[in-house]
Structure 1
Amino acid sequence: MRTVVKHRTVGEVMTSEVVHAHPGTSFKELARLLASHHIGGLPVVDDDDKVMGVVSQTDLTRRQAACGRTGSGRDRLLRALSRIAHTHPTAIPALTAGGLMSSPAVTVHPEQRVVDAARIMERRHIDRLPVVDEEDRLIGITTRRDLLRVFLRTDEEIREDVAGALCLPRPTHDADGLRIDVRDGIVTIEGAAGPETSTAALTRAAWRVDGVIGVVNRLRADRRDVSPVPRIEA
């Protein structure tokens, strides 16, 4: 019986209750939201809940630094935001979320795989992704921390899923000339692949398993079933 490997989706790990802002939300209110909820950023939505952009801690502190205040590190950023939130309105920049946000926002859909969302974050150098429905309305948010939970799987769990992806009956025993070993998320596949088996296809199948961070291919071609070329006598 073939084991079906279930890939975790964004919808399974996202946070549904999202702290968000509107384009007219003031600089001071943005600072208060980020500081009070201890978050690194939030989406900006229009009146129809469609995502327009994202405002982060660094967007606010960078603007404040231009006015003579600086800060670095998560704790210092939060303290800086807290100070901004309690500063008299006349002493802070007269900006709104619409003027500070990064736009257009990079978003994902709930049915997308967690591994794909992680790759988007890495490629775009961002820490959070608003999750939207088919009409681009905000329904959740996912962060690097949310995605990291998926990759904090035990080696045994990963081994079982890799064995299923490669259609092996037992991940800890030799099967069809193959053996799987997983250490710290790195999968090693070794043994003899049959003449009808593509080693590249096996490697790709292992890479698609959630939690896999590397694949070492130690496969060798199995020539046992290949008939010898007949010798032609002169």
Structure 2
Amino acid sequence: MHGTPHIVSDVMTRTVVALGRGATFKEIVKTMQQWKVSAMPVVEGANRVVGVVSEADLLPKEEFRDGDPDRYTQLRRLADLVKAGAVTAEELMTAPAVTVPADASLAQTARIMALHKVKRLPVVGDEGVLVGIVSRSDLLKVFLRDDEDIAEEVRREVVAHVFPNPVEPIRVEVRDGVVRLTGRIPDTTLVPVAARLVRAVEGVVDVDCALMGPRRRPALDPDLPDREITAPPSGVGGAA
């Protein structure tokens, strides 16, 4: 994978098990067990996603199987009681489905999952047609990216643009996804900008920004010691 940011279509699973509206309760359970998934999209027509059935949608049938709930429970959990009596995917599904477009960034997708508290999302193309499925584990695939691949992108997409004329060559080292930048630059106020851009590179775990400004010149500043100007930490703004 090359380039940043990566999008959902780079990591999604393209083989998707889907249900029709008329799929029965037992068919749904059997399919989940067979494919080892916890949720499946419900489609109609030309594979247009209309809902999602998850294990959470199925559990009320077992929970309320052995007795009638009290009045308080009936009022508080009306939606679950309705699902307890459901027998088809159309009755069980959560609709409208929470989906993500194939060209969404991984960061956008992670935010949608967190907001809706779901572990996987149907991926859709034009007119809501199902093209794949993306899970939490798929979003973590970027952290398997090779260190040298990350280093090359940082050099090409960050260092070359932010620091085109460094005082001394900037060295980019990556170990287990942690990027370390060393070297001298004319303007240390750009260090926080560089750190943010490096963190945005897919697969980066953390950034150790040890960039420094130019050396003091005692001949021009006789009252100042000849010392290095260390750039501020990557998470802190301002000049050194």
Secondary structure class of the residue paired with 1:209? coil
Structure 1 pair 51/152, CA: closer, same or farther in 2 (3 Å)? Answer: same
Question: How many percent of aligned residue pairs carry the same amino acid?
Answer: 37
Structure 1 pair 64/168, CA: closer, same or farther in 2 (3 Å)? Answer: same
Structure 1 pair 217/34, CA: closer, same or farther in 2 (3 Å)? Answer: same
- Partner residue in 2 for 1:179: 171
Secondary structure class of the residue paired with 1:16? coil
User: Are residue 193 (structure 1) and residue 163 (structure 2) matched?
Assistant: no
- Partner residue in 1 for 2:122: 130
- Partner residue in 1 for 2:8: 10
- 1:31 shift after superposition: 0.6
CA distance in 1, matches of 2:26, 2:85: 9
User: Are residue 147 (structure 1) and residue 139 (structure 2) matched?
Assistant: yes
CA contact (8 A) 2:17 2:40 kept: yes
Deviation string 1:114-173 (CA, Å, 9 cap, x unpaired) is 34323432443321111111211112112223232222123232222222222359xxxx
- 1:37 shift after superposition: 1.3
Structure 1: tracts of 5 or more residues without a match: 69-91, 230-234
- Partner residue in 1 for 2:89: 97
CA distance in 2, matches of 1:63, 1:218: 58
Which of 98, 115, 118 lines up with 1:106 in the alignment? 98
CA distance in 1, matches of 2:181, 2:48: 45
CA distance in 1, matches of 2:94, 2:214: 54
Deviation string 1:89-136 (CA, Å, 9 cap, x unpaired) is xxx854322332233322222222334323432443321111111211
- 1:211 shift after superposition: 0.7
When structure 1 is superposed on structure 2, of 152-161 and 178-187 the one drifting more is: 178-187
Q: TM-score, normalised by structure 1?
A: 0.69
Structure 2: tracts of 5 or more residues without a match: 67-83, 222-240
CA distance in 2, matches of 1:162, 1:140: 30
Identify which of structures 1 and 2 has the higher relative contact order when contacts are C-alpha pairs closer than 8 Å and 6+ apart: 1
- Partner residue in 2 for 1:28: 26
CA contact (8 A) 1:115 1:210 kept: no
CA distance in 2, matches of 1:200, 1:185: 19
User: Are residue 37 (structure 1) and residue 35 (structure 2) matched?
Assistant: yes
CA contact (8 A) 1:130 1:142 kept: yes
- 1:24 shift after superposition: 2.9
Which of 54, 57, 63 lines up with 1:56 in the alignment? 54
When structure 1 is superposed on structure 2, of 187-196 and 201-210 the one drifting more is: 187-196
- Partner residue in 1 for 2:229: none
CA contact (8 A) 2:167 2:214 kept: no
Structure 1 pair 63/194, CA: closer, same or farther in 2 (3 Å)? Answer: farther
Deviation string 1:170-207 (CA, Å, 9 cap, x unpaired) is xxxx9845333433323333444322862232122212
CA distance in 2, matches of 1:66, 1:213: 45
User: Are residue 167 (structure 1) and residue 159 (structure 2) matched?
Assistant: yes
The RMSD of aligned alpha carbons is: 3.2
CA distance in 1, matches of 2:9, 2:118: 19
- Partner residue in 1 for 2:110: 118
Deviation string 1:51-95 (CA, Å, 9 cap, x unpaired) is 222112232234423325xxxxxxxxxxxxxxxxxxxxxxx8543
CA distance in 1, matches of 2:170, 2:60: 54
CA contact (8 A) 1:64 1:93 kept: no
CA contact (8 A) 2:151 2:172 kept: yes
